[in-house]
Amino acid sequence: TQLLEQSPQFLSIQEGENLTVYCNSSSVFSSLQWYRQEPGEGPVLLVTVVTGGEVKKLKRLTFQFGDARKDSSLHITAAQPGDTGLYLCAGERNTGRRALTFGSGTRLQVQP
Amino acid sequence: GAGVSQTPSNKVTEKGKYVELRCDPISGHTALYWYRQSLGQGPEFLIYFQGTGAADDSGLPNDRFFAVRPEGSVSTLKIQRTERGDSAVYLCASSLRGTYTDEQFFGPGTRLTVL
């Protein structure tokens, strides 16, 4: 059983469309991070959210942390082919462990 | 500056063989992490080092897996008696202090294939 469930698993859209990726859990996380991973590369951090209800914007990307700190979303406005990749959410639980718990990922394909 | 490097980038071995995977973290980073990523999945935590010591090895699947970081820099993940189910991409990450929300920087991974 995956502690962090991501949806959708796959998404293929046209350039210029908007999309939202969801990351849900029944557990509380002290922080949640979003990464993007390209083929043959390691994940690269996009953002960290730590406060329930927090919203962060990074150019065309908007990240939200749920009030109860159990879920998060990533919204991309006017997607571009360069946004193509695997998007991973990862949480850090308030158990003293530094290890990240990753979701299974959302594979995004943006067609030109 | 140099990021996290991992060698080899690809490793093909036969069932039952022993393999070593190497990670060179970013210089000055005290924390080092190993993760395993199976096809179509997110990374799964294996072990975390703070300096030379393993601060958390709860993710190691069984006693065939072992990791060391003798001088607090380079780390080696060792897998004995490899099985086909060990095939995956093994990712290494490092962070400056290993504190809460300290950013982990990932290497490109080693793709291990056990035939």
Average pLDDT for residues A17-24, to the nearest whole number? 97
Q: What per-residue confidence (pLDDT) applies to B81? A: 98
Residue B113 included in any domain? no
Tokens of B98: 């290993």
Average pLDDT, rounded, for chain A:
93
Q: Is the dihedral of CA A62, A21, A6, B41 positive or negative?
A: negative
DSSP of B34-66, one letter per residue? EEEE-TTS--EEEEEEETTEEEE-TT--STTEE
Compute the nearest-CA separation of B31 from chain A (Å): 9
Residue B114, pLDDT > 90, answer: yes
Compute the nearest-CA separation of A84 from chain B (Å): 16
Residue B1, pLDDT > 90, answer: no
Residue B115 included in any domain? no
Q: With pLDDT > 70 as the criterion, what percentage of chain B qualifies?
A: 99
B108 touches chain A (CB under 8 A): yes
Are A100 and A91 within 8 A, CB to CB? yes
What residue of A is the nearest CA neighbor of B4? A42
B112 touches chain A (CB under 8 A): no
Strands annotated E in chain A: 5-7, 10-14, 19-24, 31-37, 44-49, 55-58, 61-65, 71-76, 85-92, 101-102, 106-111
Residue A93, pLDDT > 90, answer: no
Q: Does domain A5-111 correspond to CATH entry 2.60.40.10?
A: yes
How many other CB atoms sit within 10 Å of the CB of residue B39? Answer: 7
**Residue written as tokens 């003798």?**
B70
Q: What CATH number does residue B30 fall under?
A: 2.60.40.10
B103 touches chain A (CB under 8 A): yes
- Neighbouring-strand partners of residue B93: B33, B106
Are A88 and B42 an interchain contact pair (Cβ–Cβ within 8 Å)?
A: yes
Residue A24, pLDDT > 70, answer: yes
- Sheet arrangement for strand B65-68: B5-7, B19-24, B75-79, B65-68
- Sheet arrangement for strand A55-58: A5-7, A19-24, A71-76, A61-65, A55-58
Residue B114 included in any domain? no
Domain total in chain B: 1
Q: What are phi and psi of B36, to 5 degrees?
A: -125, 130
In chain A, domain spans = 5-111
Digit-coded pLDDT (tens) for A95-106? 666 789 999 999
B59 touches chain A (CB under 8 A): yes
Mutate to test the interface with A, among B106, B110, B111 (most CBs of A within 10 A): B106
What residue of A is the nearest CA neighbor of B47? A99
Residue A1, pLDDT > 70, answer: no
Domain that holds residue B35: 5-108
A88 touches chain B (CB under 8 A): yes
Residue B63 included in any domain? yes
Q: What per-residue confidence (pLDDT) applies to B2? A: 85
Average pLDDT for residues B46-63, to the nearest whole number? 94
Digit-coded pLDDT (tens) for B38-50? 998 999 999 999 9
Mutate to test the interface with A, among B38, B104, B110 (most CBs of A within 10 A): B104
B43 vs B38: CA distance, rounded Å: 7
Choose the closest CB to A99 out of B40, B56, B105.
B56
Residue B108, pLDDT > 70, answer: yes
A20 touches chain B (CB under 8 A): no
* Three-state secondary-structure class, residue A81: helix
Digit-coded pLDDT (tens) for A49-88? 999 999 999 999 999 999 999 999 999 999 999 999 999 9
